[in-house]
Structure 1
Amino acid sequence: MELPQNPFQRSLDGNTRYGCWAGFGTGYATEILATTGFDWLLIDGEHAPNTVPSILSQLQAVAPYSSAPVVRTVNHDPALIKQLLDIGAQTLMIPMVDTAEQAARLVAATRYPPNGFRGVGGGLTRATRWDSVENYLARAHEELCLIVQVESRTGVDNAEAIAATEGVDAVFVGPVDLSTGVGHAGNPNHSDVQAMIRRTLEVTHAAGKAAGILAPAEADARRYAQWGFDFIAVGIDISLLHQAAIDTISRYKSDIPQPKSSLGY
């Protein structure tokens, strides 16, 4: 059996790709998203109630569709990274990366020796199709995509070195954490934050890597697309359901309060 191709990696061809956060933690909900036309889906293991088994069920649920799955980890734990790769995740997004040294360590966690320290699961793992993929140990890295998140002033200061790290494929800006960390909580559109976002984009592209960002507000997403971001998350499934439910009941009841986002969107 051939090594399965990574659809997200192959979609990064210079055209902006639009995605959605998948936060419900179930294969059923994520499969619904996969049928709607998003180019990619972020299966969120950081803030959503996901575990390794629930992430597996979502990878299986979206496999027949064209929406490419990206899995976000909760932290930098190499043991968890190993588990996620073993269940078949090919694109990982890692939060809170502040230095090139951290980025290099994360790369090593995705590689087998001698290029890293990923443990060998062999026939136990979905990634190898239970030992059916030829030369998996030698070729696995060819279809892996590592996205690191820059979400702090330190990360922005080190973005050039982070992006230049061999094995890092993309840098994703977290505008909410970034704006909060630099003293503009709830206001990612503050001019200082916008300048930091643009600088991160520019040094990432200068390193020949792809850049992504979260932008649920349409005006923000369109601006970032004009700037040249390669992949943009334009929706969050939980927020979409919440707002749609409020809009629906508001047609029949006049006392429904409209929510105000604490995230600046």
Structure 2
Amino acid sequence: MPIQLKPTFRDTLTERVLSDDGRPLAGMWVNSGSPLVAEICAGSGLDVLFVDMEHGPNGIERVLPQLQAIAGYPPGVVVRLPGLLAVMIKQVLDLGAQNLLIPMIDTAEQARAAVRAVRYPPRGIRGIGSALARSGRWGRVENYLADGDDHVSLMVQVESTEGVRNAAEIAAVDGVDGVLVGPSDLAASMGLIGQQTHPDVTGAVLRTVEAVRGVGKAVGVNAFDPALADHYMSAGAHFVLVGADVVLLARGSEALAERFAPTTG
């Protein structure tokens, strides 16, 4: 029997933020590689989860059970690839990921290459295999191939001084649904490694937010500092990633140790 896929993150942004000026969406990273942790986070009430293949122990085999664990819960789920890797993009899409984030995008040409990787021919280079894969639910999603673009959304990550300069051109690429600004790598590219809250870094982030909004696309920011997250939301970010599962576990366990097992001597 026919199966309906969940709306894409693009659809969520359009419905809840871009069309009616609703509140910015709040999300978090899932870096642990654990389906159990992913499911716990999925029930938290946050709007979106980003499963991270770039900086976490998440290979193809680990991503699939996390997608399955999150599927029964309201949040959208975006998978961040390790880079602009067309073969891996095809594999992750066939796992059933509907929303992808490609990191380290510096130019409009790189953004166009990312778009080609997520689209079927003749508009792109994605291989045809939905009848064999979870993406088309093994042939149970009607017209999956013909409607393939409707089932996939693409975000790209701007996280360098070059990317900031080209932000408007990157965002304007047809098929790019939004931009995520990465202050950590941006700070490093500015010679300010580890200083995400430096005024020069936050200024570059805000310029990027303005540039992306100027071409009518969604823009998000990575900001674990609550005050800075509030600032970026007030400045026009459509979504903000405010934490990560592994960071919450690290800081939470440290707080327990400080309270109940303080170091002496």
Give the TM interval when normalised to the shorter protein.
over 0.9
Partner Cα separation in structure 2 for residue 185 and residue 9 of structure 1 = 32
Partner Cα separation in structure 1 for residue 55 and residue 142 of structure 2 = 36
Is 1:227 aligned to residue 228 of structure 2?
A: no
The DSSP-based 3-state class of the residue aligned with 1:148 is strand
Q: Specify which of 51, 62, 86 is matched with residue 54 of structure 1.
A: 62
Report the count of equivalent residues: 256
Partner Cα separation in structure 2 for residue 79 and residue 101 of structure 1 = 18
* Corresponding residue of 1:259: none
Measured after TM superposition, the shift of residue 172 of structure 1 is 0.4
Partner Cα separation in structure 1 for residue 58 and residue 213 of structure 2 = 32
Given that 2:33 and 2:62 are in contact with CA atoms closer than 8 Å, whether structure 1 keeps it comes out as yes
Q: Name the aligned partner's letter for residue 108 of structure 1.
A: R
Partner Cα separation in structure 2 for residue 3 and residue 167 of structure 1 = 22
Given that 1:19 and 1:42 are in contact with CA atoms closer than 8 Å, whether structure 2 keeps it comes out as yes
Q: Name the aligned partner's letter for residue 20 of structure 1.
A: M
The DSSP-based 3-state class of the residue aligned with 2:240 is strand
Question: 9-18 or 35-44, which moves further after superposition?
Answer: 9-18
Q: Name the aligned partner's letter for residue 70 of structure 1.
A: V
Measured after TM superposition, the shift of residue 144 of structure 1 is 1.3
Measured after TM superposition, the shift of residue 7 of structure 1 is 4.6
The DSSP-based 3-state class of the residue aligned with 1:55 is helix
Change (3 A) 1:3 1:100: farther
Partner Cα separation in structure 2 for residue 102 and residue 21 of structure 1 = 24
- Identical-pair percentage: 43
Given that 1:6 and 1:91 are in contact with CA atoms closer than 8 Å, whether structure 2 keeps it comes out as no
Partner Cα separation in structure 2 for residue 34 and residue 65 of structure 1 = 6
Q: Specify which of 12, 27, 52 is matched with residue 35 of structure 2.
A: 27
Q: Specify which of 44, 55, 65 is matched with residue 52 of structure 2.
A: 44
Partner Cα separation in structure 2 for residue 141 and residue 235 of structure 1 = 30
Given that 1:11 and 1:17 are in contact with CA atoms closer than 8 Å, whether structure 2 keeps it comes out as no
Partner Cα separation in structure 2 for residue 8 and residue 47 of structure 1 = 21
Q: Specify which of 216, 239, 244 is matched with residue 252 of structure 2.
A: 244
Partner Cα separation in structure 2 for residue 109 and residue 249 of structure 1 = 47
* Corresponding residue of 2:10: 9
* Corresponding residue of 1:181: 189
Q: Specify which of 77, 82, 95 is matched with residue 87 of structure 1.
A: 95
Partner Cα separation in structure 1 for residue 134 and residue 262 of structure 2 = 51
Change (3 A) 1:253 1:122: closer
CA root-mean-square deviation: 1.2
* Corresponding residue of 1:155: 163
Question: 110-119 or 184-193, which moves further after superposition?
Answer: 184-193
In the TM superposition, 1:84-123 aligns within 5 A as 84-123=92-131
The DSSP-based 3-state class of the residue aligned with 2:260 is coil
Structure 2: which 5+ runs fail to align? Answer: 18-22
Q: Name the aligned partner's letter for residue 262 of structure 2.
A: S
Given that 1:6 and 1:144 are in contact with CA atoms closer than 8 Å, whether structure 2 keeps it comes out as no
Question: 191-200 or 161-170, which moves further after superposition?
Answer: 191-200
The DSSP-based 3-state class of the residue aligned with 1:136 is coil
Change (3 A) 1:7 1:77: closer
Q: TM-score by structure 2 length?
A: 0.94
Partner Cα separation in structure 2 for residue 159 and residue 245 of structure 1 = 39
Question: 194-203 or 56-65, which moves further after superposition?
Answer: 194-203
Given that 1:99 and 1:162 are in contact with CA atoms closer than 8 Å, whether structure 2 keeps it comes out as yes
Cα offsets for 1:98-145 (capped at 9, x unmatched): 000000010000111111010000321101110111111110111211
Partner Cα separation in structure 1 for residue 161 and residue 183 of structure 2 = 11
Partner Cα separation in structure 1 for residue 130 and residue 30 of structure 2 = 29
Q: Name the aligned partner's letter for residue 116 of structure 2.
A: A
Is 1:63 aligned to residue 43 of structure 2?
A: no
Given that 2:118 and 2:124 are in contact with CA atoms closer than 8 Å, whether structure 1 keeps it comes out as yes
Give every structure 1 segment of 4 or more consecutive aligned residues whose post-TM-superposition deviation is greater than 4 Å. none
Partner Cα separation in structure 1 for residue 260 and residue 96 of structure 2 = 46
The DSSP-based 3-state class of the residue aligned with 2:168 is helix
Partner Cα separation in structure 1 for residue 258 and residue 162 of structure 2 = 44
The DSSP-based 3-state class of the residue aligned with 1:4 is coil
Given that 2:8 and 2:99 are in contact with CA atoms closer than 8 Å, whether structure 1 keeps it comes out as no
